[in-house]
A and B are shown apart, each in its own frame.
Chain A
Amino acid sequence: MSRKETLVLGQGAVIRAWASVGGKKEGEGPLCREFDLVNGENSLGQDSWEQSECQLQQQCAELCLRKGEITPKEVDLTLGGDLQAQCTATAYAMRSLGTPYAGLYGACSTMAQGLALGACLSSSCLLPRVLVMTSSHFCTAEREFRTPLEYGGQRTPTAQWTATAAGACLLSPKGEGPRITALTFGRVVDLQITDINNMGAAMAPAAAQTILRHLKGRGTRPGDYDAIVTGDLGQVGSRLLHEILEGEGLPLPNHRDCGLMLYDLQTQQVDAGGSGAGCSASVLCAHFLPRLAAGEYRRILFLSTGALMSQTTFLQGESIPGLAHAIELEGCI
């Protein structure tokens, strides 16, 4: 009974190129200088917010391919997704990109999901060149899941701010760049959180479980990593993650949360921090991958965390299932 839950990829898949694009608020935050591109206003000159998010992905994909010095024709598969119903931001962005495409839905866990799947395909040379990308947009998320943008509502202090951002990575079996060397697909964990304004709390147990499973599968300790990075737990979820893991006798001194890095919580009025599929994707591509490439980080564990409810299940009083996938990244030696 020794089923392998953590996959070790040997040589691993190389992240040959990456790109990150941010919106207005992201460009005013602590990571403003680390993005490849920051849009000064979030409509990106489009007529609808949905088109704006689509444009965001197009920008990001084109930047990533240009940095990887590769044309869309040479890409074997694009794995991508977003938060819009039926993943339309990605699907519509793919109209102009024209590579083979498989859509993913993992809510805010999409980036790690895509990288994990892409690494399997790429490192095994089944589909060598895989583009992984995802995005989120504050305005599409608000109008689809919450209230109209002009509606006068008060945000609760546990709520998180959907990032207007996108991230893209180009994987290949060989070459220069940070490598994905191991990965663990998460299991759905649901501890009966029903508060849609407290997603960090809904996702923290899933993150804790995946971290524990990955460390066990690899036989590592938190100290073996330069950083253990979670996607968008925010202030409340991060606090809960620490509490859960301390209960397991595993303190996490080197934990970073992308939702807490993307904005300045003191001045930017994002309440408990950032969230959205684009949050972990853009912070990975803007902050962590360059540092792995520069040798500043040797090894990190990266998790994207997703809350997998829908508007319908929420209205029906269902609790929020959480999911977290982990990928282990090693820097250039």
Chain B
Amino acid sequence: MDLTPERYQKMVKRAGPSSPLGTHCLWAFGVGGAICTLGEGLRQLYLSLGWDQDASGALTSITLIGLSGLFTSLGLYQRLAARAGAGTLVPITGFANAVISPAIEFKVEGMITGVGAKMFVIAGPVIVYGLTASWVWGLIYWATTQMGWGG
């Protein structure tokens, strides 16, 4: 058996079924669009109740995260995501699912070392690099204001 890794890689590529791209994209578009539309609906609702723009945005996020938690705990978010893919991954509900699902899963390892620590397993990097990027942007922005051509 004299099979080189290079030749085998080509065989593997041929042998593997590819993802049904059209179906996946349609599901992602539909479900992702629906979650965003729900978000917009909630935002309009909070605005109509007299909250200002910022508060309405925050309340929308909190509501969506709460709904995601409910669906996650019932095992429904995972079932939807199996079809919707990025449609449930990319919205803020996907971020919430990434925090809440390990919290539930690792409860058996304790409230501190399980729930508390494992919550950040998937979502931690998002916070770390999001904040790092915003910090870098903050310094650049500050530098431009100091030089008098920013703001």
Contact = CB atoms under 8 A, between A and B. Distances in A.
B9 A192 contact: yes
Contacts of B94: 152
Nearest to A47: B108
Given A150-B75, A151-B101, A201 B82 contact: no
Contact of A148 (B9, B85, B104): B104
Interface residues of A, number: 33
A75 B97 CA distance: 48
Contact of A48 (B17, B24, B108): B108
Given A154-B85, A191-B3, A248-B1, A149 B105 contact: yes
A239 interface: yes
Interface in A244-269: 244, 247-248
B105 A143 contact: yes
B78 A243 contact: no
Contacts of A209: 1
B128 interface: no
Interface in B11-48: 11-12, 15-19, 24
**Number of contact residues on B: which range applies?**
35 or more
Nearest to B8: A191
Main secondary structure of the interface of A (DSSP, over half): loop
A191 B12 CA distance: 11
Interface string A225-238: 00000000001100
A193 interface: yes
Contacts of B18: 157
Main secondary structure of the interface of B (DSSP, over half): helix
A57 interface: no
Nearest to A153: B81
Contact of A201 (B4, B15, B24, B108): B15
Given A157-B18, A193-B12, A236-B15, A152 B78 contact: yes
Contact of B105 (A150, A156, A236): A150
B5 A192 contact: yes
B12 A198 contact: yes
B104 A157 contact: no
Contacts of B105: 143, 148-151
Given A154-B84, A193-B9, 7 more contacts: A48-B108, A143-B105, A152-B84, A152-B97, A154-B83, A243-B15, A244-B1
Interface of A: 47-48, 143, 147-158, 191-193, 198, 201, 205, 208-209, 212, 235-236, 239-240, 243-244, 247-248, 272
The 10 residue pairs across chains A and B that have the minimum distance between CB atoms = A152-B81, A148-B105, A150-B101, A192-B5, A151-B101, A154-B85, A148-B101, A191-B8, A157-B17, A239-B15
21 contacts: A143-B106, A148-B102, A150-B77, A150-B97, A150-B105, A151-B81, A151-B102, A151-B105, A152-B89, A152-B97, A153-B78, A154-B24, A156-B19, A157-B17, A157-B19, A158-B17, A191-B5, A201-B16, A243-B15, A244-B11, A247-B3
